[in-house]
Amino acid sequence: MEYSMDVAANKMVYVIVGLSFLVILGGFLFFHSSSNINGAMPFAIGVLMACGLNIAKIFLIKNAVNASLQKGAVAARHSLQISYFGRLVLTITVLLVAGLLHGTHVNLFGTAIGILTLPFATYSMRFFLREHLVDVVPVAGVSSGSGSSTQDIIDEIKTLSAGNNGE
């Protein structure tokens, strides 16, 4: 069974949306129990802002990985570093906007909790993709015999990359 980055990105989006919904529901229950139901909407807006950010980051990661697979080792590393810096700037921008609108329209704490749904979604994907973690997806130019371990395939990819001399 072939497994692509598109499938992984789509599953990550579903997990992020589900986790964000649970955080919003928990926020509404918390604010309802504390008799401050007016604080629930800014909290939900903060979580939704972070949810949108996380979805954008997933697709940026997918595009960066797909683009780097077409490049040499040095160019791919440089491209991935630039992509990481761009995602960091995007996250800082969302936090700054949430900080500027804190108290009136957006809850900064809700935004921060919403941003943390991405690492939780990433770690939980191990359970959703368990059947794909056993099978190794063949990479062009890399033999994937039934006895090959993941480390053997990584070593073979490094050998192939060293043969390209970073071009």
Question: What's the pLDDT at 135?
Answer: 45
Looking at the structure of the chain, the number of domains it has is 1
142 is a domain residue: no
141 is a domain residue: no
Task: Tell me the three state secondary structure of residue 36.
Answer: coil
Give me the domain span that covers residue 160. Answer: 5-133+148-164
138 is a domain residue: no
139 is a domain residue: no
140 is a domain residue: no
20 is a domain residue: yes
pLDDT tens-digit series, residues 88-125: 999 999 999 999 998 788 999 999 999 999 998 888 87
Tens place of pLDDT for every residue, the chain, 167 residues? Answer: 345 777 788 888 998 999 999 999 998 888 878 777 777 889 999 999 999 999 999 999 999 988 888 888 888 888 889 999 999 999 999 999 999 998 788 999 999 999 999 998 888 877 766 665 544 455 555 454 445 555 666 666 666 656 554 44
